[in-house]
Amino acid sequence: MDFNWIKQALKGGETPGHGERWLACGAAFIGILAVAGVSAFFLSGKDVPMMAASMGASAVLLYAVPHSRFSQPWPLVGGHLVSAFVGVSCAQWIPDQVTAVAAATALALVCMLYLRCLHPPGGAAAVIAVIGGNEIQSLGYAFVLMPVALNVVLMLLMALLINNVLPHRRYPALLQVTKKSPLDVQQGTDAIRFSDSDLEQALRDMNTFIDVSKEDLNAIYGLARMHHQKKQLGDVLCRDVMVHEVKAVEYGSNLDEVWEMMQTYKISGIPVIDRAHRIEGIVTLSDLLREADVDSHQTLGEKLRSFIRPTQGHYSEKAEVAGQVMTKQVVTVREDRHVAELLPLFVEKDIHHIPVVDMQDKLVGMITRTTVMSVML
C-alpha cells in the first residue's frame, strides 16, 4: 500500500526561514500586547470584554502572512464587523443556540464572500457573538462597536506600523510598487509571456478561492524560471563573464576626464572608488546630463561641453569633480553570484551595468545587462 499521500499530507506547506518565523512571533506579541493595553485603557470600568478572541487568529494572519488576501485592511475590518453583526442577529433571532451558531457561521461566510472581505477569524467573531455568555449577550449590537470595532482599528494600525518597519515586509499589498517582470526582457528565450489580465482570468477560471495575488504568482513564476535557468547554465558566475579591466575614477577626478573616458571606451557609467578600491559611487551619462540641466536636444552638446569644462580660479558655482555628481547608492554584486540572478536585478532597478566586488567589497569587475542577456541566450 502506498502511504506517500499520508507523508505529503503531514508535510504541510513551505515555511520561511528561522529569522522570518521569529520576526512574526515578535510582531504578534507586540501587536496583541499593544491592542490589549489600549483596549483595556478605553474599556476600563465598563462591563465590556477587553478583547474579542478572534483577534488572536487575526494576529497570525497579519504578522505571519501580511501579503495574504485574508490579511488586507478591508478583509480585516469588513470581515470582523460583518460577522459580528451577523452573529448578534442570529443570537437574538434564533432561540436554539446550536442552530444559531451554525447559522451565524454560514451566513457570516456567505456575507464575507459577497462583500469580498473574507477573513477566517471573522467566523470566530460570529460564533463568539452567539456563545459569548451573558456579558456579551447583554451588549446586543453594541458588541460590534465595543470591543470588536475598537480592536479591529487598533489591530489595523499596529499592522500598518509593524509590517512597514520590519524588513522585507509590505502592508497593505497595494503599497508594493509593481515591478517589471524579467519575462518582459527575455526576448528570444522560450519564456512564456503573459499579462496581469491573463493571471486574473486564470484565477477566475479556477472557480475557487485561492489565497494568492497575481503579483505573487508572477514572482513565483519568475523565481521558478530563474532556478531553471541556473540548472541549464550550470555554475556560470559573475567572475566568469564580467569585464575585468574596469575603468574607474576617484572622488576628485575632473568631469572632463570622466567624459573623455566615457567617449574613449564607449561606456555610459564609471565607478568612483577610494584608494582601497572600494566603491563610493558611480557616474553615469544620466548624472552628467542631469547636473548640466540639459532640457532639450538642441542645447545638449553646448550645455554638456560647458558643464564639464573646468572652471578657472578658486570658486565655482557648478560641480567640478566626479564626487559631486555621482550616484551614491550603487547596486553591486559579488563575483561569486550566479549570472541568472542578475537579470531580475537589472529589470527591477532599471539599470544597465553593475559593478562587481570581491569578499572585501573591492571593485574587481563590471557586468552589463547585454552581457547577461547574451549568456542567458
**What is the rounded average pLDDT of the residues 172-199?**
56
Q: In what order do the strands lie in the sheet with 363-368?
A: 333-334, 353-357, 363-368
What is the percentage of the chain residues whose pLDDT exceeds 70? 79
Q: Say yes or no to pLDDT of 331 above 70.
A: yes
Note the pLDDT tens digit of each residue in 86-136: 999 999 999 999 999 999 999 999 999 999 999 999 999 999 999 988 888
**Dihedral in degrees, nearest 10, Cα atoms 223, 361, 352, 328:** 120
Backbone phi, psi, residue 273, to 5°? -120, 160
Q: In what order do the strands lie in the sheet with 249-250?
A: 249-250, 269-273, 279-284
What is the percentage of the chain residues whose pLDDT exceeds 90? 32
Arch. (CATH architecture) of 239-376: Roll (3.10)
**Dihedral in degrees, nearest 10, Cα atoms 126, 129, 131, 137:** -170
pLDDT reported for residue 83: 96
Note the pLDDT tens digit of each residue in 52-69: 888 999 999 999 888 888
- Per DSSP, 353 falls in state E
The crossing angle, in degrees rounded to 10, of helices 150-165 and 73-93 is 160
Domain ranges of the chain: 13-173, 182-233, 239-376
Note the pLDDT tens digit of each residue in 275-292: 999 999 999 888 887 776
- Omega prior to 147 cis, within 30 of 0: yes
Is this structure's pTM higher than 0.85? no
